[in-house]
Structure 1
Protein backbone atom coordinates (compact mmCIF):
# COMPACT_ATOMS: atom_id res chain seq x y z
CA UNK A 1 0.00 0.00 0.00
CA UNK A 2 1.32 3.50 -0.75
CA UNK A 3 2.37 5.68 2.17
CA UNK A 4 2.46 9.42 2.59
CA UNK A 5 5.92 10.89 1.92
CA UNK A 6 5.34 14.63 2.43
CA UNK A 7 2.68 17.30 2.41
CA UNK A 8 2.67 21.07 2.26
CA UNK A 9 1.50 23.10 5.25
CA UNK A 10 0.61 26.69 4.38
CA UNK A 11 1.89 29.32 6.78
CA UNK A 12 2.52 33.01 7.22
CA UNK A 13 6.07 32.37 8.49
CA UNK A 14 7.39 28.96 7.42
CA UNK A 15 10.15 28.64 10.02
CA UNK A 16 8.14 30.05 12.93
CA UNK A 17 5.30 27.60 12.26
CA UNK A 18 7.60 24.62 11.68
CA UNK A 19 9.57 25.44 14.84
CA UNK A 20 6.33 25.72 16.84
CA UNK A 21 5.41 22.13 15.99
CA UNK A 22 8.99 20.87 16.27
CA UNK A 23 9.13 22.33 19.78
CA UNK A 24 5.96 20.54 20.87
CA UNK A 25 7.12 17.24 19.35
CA UNK A 26 10.74 17.66 20.52
CA UNK A 27 11.69 17.15 16.88
CA UNK A 28 14.90 18.35 15.21
CA UNK A 29 15.17 21.87 13.83
CA UNK A 30 13.37 22.26 10.47
CA UNK A 31 15.69 22.53 7.46
CA UNK A 32 15.48 24.84 4.49
CA UNK A 33 14.52 22.93 1.35
CA UNK A 34 13.89 25.27 -1.56
CA UNK A 35 10.97 27.50 -0.58
CA UNK A 36 10.05 25.24 2.35
CA UNK A 37 10.92 24.75 6.00
CA UNK A 38 11.00 20.95 6.06
CA UNK A 39 10.09 19.20 9.32
CA UNK A 40 10.87 15.49 9.08
CA UNK A 41 8.93 13.24 11.43
CA UNK A 42 10.14 9.92 12.88
CA UNK A 43 7.92 7.90 10.52
CA UNK A 44 9.64 9.44 7.48
CA UNK A 45 6.84 11.85 6.56
CA UNK A 46 7.97 15.42 6.00
CA UNK A 47 5.82 18.48 6.59
CA UNK A 48 6.96 21.13 4.12
CA UNK A 49 5.95 24.51 5.52
CA UNK A 50 5.41 27.03 2.71
CA UNK A 51 4.96 30.73 3.21
CA UNK A 52 1.79 32.17 1.84
CA UNK A 53 2.50 34.85 -0.75
CA UNK A 54 1.35 38.30 0.36
CA UNK A 55 -1.57 39.48 -1.71
CA UNK A 56 -2.25 35.96 -2.97
CA UNK A 57 -5.24 33.74 -2.37
CA UNK A 58 -5.76 33.14 1.34
CA UNK A 59 -5.24 29.63 2.67
CA UNK A 60 -7.76 27.80 4.82
CA UNK A 61 -6.43 26.40 8.10
CA UNK A 62 -6.72 22.63 8.18
CA UNK A 63 -6.32 19.68 10.54
CA UNK A 64 -3.26 17.52 11.19
CA UNK A 65 -3.33 14.54 13.56
CA UNK A 66 -0.25 12.97 15.13
CA UNK A 67 -0.31 9.49 16.64
CA UNK A 68 2.00 9.48 19.66
CA UNK A 69 2.88 7.11 22.48
CA UNK A 70 1.49 7.62 25.98
CA UNK A 71 4.91 8.91 27.11
CA UNK A 72 5.13 11.29 24.15
CA UNK A 73 1.60 12.53 24.89
CA UNK A 74 2.56 13.34 28.48
CA UNK A 75 5.60 15.29 27.28
CA UNK A 76 3.66 17.15 24.57
CA UNK A 77 0.87 18.06 27.00
CA UNK A 78 3.54 19.21 29.45
CA UNK A 79 5.07 21.48 26.79
CA UNK A 80 1.61 22.84 25.94
CA UNK A 81 0.85 23.65 29.58
CA UNK A 82 4.38 24.99 30.25
CA UNK A 83 3.82 27.49 27.43
CA UNK A 84 0.31 28.36 28.67
CA UNK A 85 -1.14 27.45 25.27
CA UNK A 86 -4.90 26.99 25.04
CA UNK A 87 -5.95 23.43 24.25
CA UNK A 88 -9.18 21.52 23.82
CA UNK A 89 -10.58 18.00 24.06
CA UNK A 90 -12.42 18.35 20.75
CA UNK A 91 -11.86 19.78 17.27
CA UNK A 92 -14.74 22.24 17.68
CA UNK A 93 -12.93 23.83 20.64
CA UNK A 94 -15.96 23.50 22.91
CA UNK A 95 -14.12 21.79 25.81
CA UNK A 96 -11.24 24.10 26.75
CA UNK A 97 -8.29 23.00 28.88
CA UNK A 98 -9.44 19.35 28.74
CA UNK A 99 -8.21 16.21 27.01
CA UNK A 100 -10.38 13.44 25.58
CA UNK A 101 -10.27 9.70 26.27
CA UNK A 102 -11.78 8.36 23.05
CA UNK A 103 -11.37 4.65 22.43
CA UNK A 104 -9.44 4.28 25.68
CA UNK A 105 -6.66 6.59 24.50
CA UNK A 106 -6.01 10.26 25.09
CA UNK A 107 -6.22 13.19 22.71
CA UNK A 108 -5.78 16.94 22.68
CA UNK A 109 -6.17 19.71 20.11
CA UNK A 110 -4.26 22.98 19.79
CA UNK A 111 -4.09 25.71 17.17
CA UNK A 112 -0.72 26.47 15.61
CA UNK A 113 0.29 30.09 14.86
CA UNK A 114 -1.60 29.97 11.54
CA UNK A 115 -4.80 28.48 12.96
CA UNK A 116 -4.17 24.89 11.82
CA UNK A 117 -5.89 22.47 14.19
CA UNK A 118 -3.17 20.14 15.50
CA UNK A 119 -4.31 16.95 17.20
CA UNK A 120 -2.16 14.62 19.30
CA UNK A 121 -3.70 11.24 20.07
CA UNK A 122 -2.49 7.99 21.61
CA UNK A 123 -4.83 5.62 19.75
CA UNK A 124 -6.11 5.58 16.20
CA UNK A 125 -9.87 5.95 16.24
CA UNK A 126 -11.78 2.70 15.78
CA UNK A 127 -14.29 2.14 12.99
CA UNK A 128 -17.04 1.95 15.65
CA UNK A 129 -16.15 5.36 17.05
CA UNK A 130 -15.92 6.93 13.62
CA UNK A 131 -19.33 5.52 12.67
CA UNK A 132 -20.88 7.22 15.71
CA UNK A 133 -19.30 10.66 15.37
Structure 2
Protein backbone atom coordinates (compact mmCIF):
# COMPACT_ATOMS: atom_id res chain seq x y z
CA UNK A 1 0.00 0.00 0.00
CA UNK A 2 1.50 3.33 -1.02
CA UNK A 3 1.59 6.12 1.52
CA UNK A 4 -0.73 8.97 0.60
CA UNK A 5 0.82 12.40 0.74
CA UNK A 6 -0.89 15.76 0.96
CA UNK A 7 -1.20 17.60 -2.32
CA UNK A 8 -0.64 21.22 -1.19
CA UNK A 9 -2.33 22.74 -4.26
CA UNK A 10 -5.40 20.54 -3.93
CA UNK A 11 -5.62 21.38 -0.22
CA UNK A 12 -5.35 25.12 -0.95
CA UNK A 13 -8.06 24.82 -3.62
CA UNK A 14 -10.32 23.31 -0.95
CA UNK A 15 -9.77 26.28 1.35
CA UNK A 16 -6.91 25.04 3.52
CA UNK A 17 -3.89 27.21 4.23
CA UNK A 18 -0.66 25.33 3.49
CA UNK A 19 2.62 26.28 5.16
CA UNK A 20 5.90 24.47 4.58
CA UNK A 21 8.58 24.63 7.26
CA UNK A 22 12.21 23.67 6.84
CA UNK A 23 14.63 22.94 9.66
CA UNK A 24 17.33 25.65 9.96
CA UNK A 25 20.18 24.88 7.58
CA UNK A 26 18.20 22.30 5.55
CA UNK A 27 16.52 22.54 2.17
CA UNK A 28 15.58 26.21 1.51
CA UNK A 29 16.15 27.39 5.08
CA UNK A 30 19.03 29.61 6.08
CA UNK A 31 21.05 29.12 9.24
CA UNK A 32 23.30 26.50 10.70
CA UNK A 33 21.96 22.99 11.07
CA UNK A 34 22.11 21.39 14.49
CA UNK A 35 20.25 18.07 14.27
CA UNK A 36 17.27 17.89 16.63
CA UNK A 37 18.25 21.08 18.49
CA UNK A 38 15.38 23.37 17.45
CA UNK A 39 12.60 21.18 16.11
CA UNK A 40 10.45 21.36 19.26
CA UNK A 41 10.65 25.14 19.72
CA UNK A 42 10.50 25.86 15.96
CA UNK A 43 7.48 23.58 15.61
CA UNK A 44 5.70 25.35 18.45
CA UNK A 45 6.53 28.77 16.97
CA UNK A 46 5.38 27.73 13.48
CA UNK A 47 2.08 26.27 14.69
CA UNK A 48 1.29 29.42 16.67
CA UNK A 49 2.36 31.66 13.77
CA UNK A 50 0.24 29.72 11.26
CA UNK A 51 -2.79 29.82 13.56
CA UNK A 52 -2.48 33.62 13.81
CA UNK A 53 -2.30 34.23 10.04
CA UNK A 54 -5.13 36.31 8.54
CA UNK A 55 -7.84 33.94 7.37
CA UNK A 56 -6.78 31.15 9.72
CA UNK A 57 -9.43 29.35 11.76
CA UNK A 58 -6.93 28.86 14.62
CA UNK A 59 -6.62 25.11 13.92
CA UNK A 60 -3.35 23.67 12.60
CA UNK A 61 -2.46 20.20 11.34
CA UNK A 62 0.92 18.81 10.29
CA UNK A 63 1.79 16.16 7.71
CA UNK A 64 5.02 14.80 6.30
CA UNK A 65 7.27 11.81 6.08
CA UNK A 66 10.72 10.77 7.20
CA UNK A 67 12.56 13.77 8.68
CA UNK A 68 9.35 15.81 8.46
CA UNK A 69 7.63 13.06 10.43
CA UNK A 70 10.25 13.32 13.16
CA UNK A 71 9.94 17.10 13.28
CA UNK A 72 6.17 16.68 13.77
CA UNK A 73 6.68 14.43 16.77
CA UNK A 74 9.15 16.94 18.22
CA UNK A 75 7.00 19.98 17.41
CA UNK A 76 4.03 18.36 19.13
CA UNK A 77 5.99 17.87 22.37
CA UNK A 78 5.32 21.48 23.44
CA UNK A 79 1.57 20.88 22.96
CA UNK A 80 0.60 24.11 21.22
CA UNK A 81 -3.18 24.40 21.72
CA UNK A 82 -3.69 25.32 18.05
CA UNK A 83 -2.26 21.97 16.91
CA UNK A 84 -5.27 19.75 16.24
CA UNK A 85 -3.75 16.86 14.25
CA UNK A 86 -0.48 15.35 13.07
CA UNK A 87 0.08 12.76 10.35
CA UNK A 88 3.71 11.63 10.53
CA UNK A 89 4.59 9.15 7.78
CA UNK A 90 7.59 6.83 7.39
CA UNK A 91 8.96 7.60 10.83
CA UNK A 92 9.18 6.33 14.39
CA UNK A 93 7.31 7.64 17.42
CA UNK A 94 10.35 6.70 19.52
CA UNK A 95 13.66 7.34 17.71
CA UNK A 96 15.47 5.24 20.33
CA UNK A 97 13.54 2.13 19.26
CA UNK A 98 14.80 1.33 15.78
CA UNK A 99 15.72 4.69 14.26
CA UNK A 100 18.89 5.76 16.09
CA UNK A 101 19.28 2.72 18.33
CA UNK A 102 17.80 -0.72 18.82
CA UNK A 103 18.11 -2.45 22.18
CA UNK A 104 20.77 0.07 23.22
CA UNK A 105 23.00 -0.53 20.16
CA UNK A 106 23.47 2.11 17.46
CA UNK A 107 21.28 1.35 14.42
CA UNK A 108 23.92 1.73 11.69
CA UNK A 109 21.63 0.52 8.89
CA UNK A 110 19.73 3.81 9.03
CA UNK A 111 22.01 6.13 11.01
CA UNK A 112 25.16 5.73 8.90
CA UNK A 113 23.69 6.50 5.44
CA UNK A 114 21.51 9.29 6.85
CA UNK A 115 24.51 10.90 8.57
CA UNK A 116 26.61 10.66 5.41
CA UNK A 117 23.87 12.29 3.30
CA UNK A 118 23.38 15.11 5.80
CA UNK A 119 27.13 15.63 6.12
CA UNK A 120 27.54 15.89 2.34
CA UNK A 121 24.69 18.42 2.14
CA UNK A 122 26.22 20.43 4.99
CA UNK A 123 29.62 20.56 3.27
CA UNK A 124 28.06 21.66 -0.03
CA UNK A 125 26.36 24.58 1.74
CA UNK A 126 29.62 25.97 3.10
CA UNK A 127 31.53 28.62 1.16
CA UNK A 128 34.64 27.35 -0.65
Relative to the length of structure 1, the TM-score reads 0.25
Higher helix share: 2
Larger Rg: 2
Relative to the length of structure 2, the TM-score reads 0.25
Higher strand share: 1
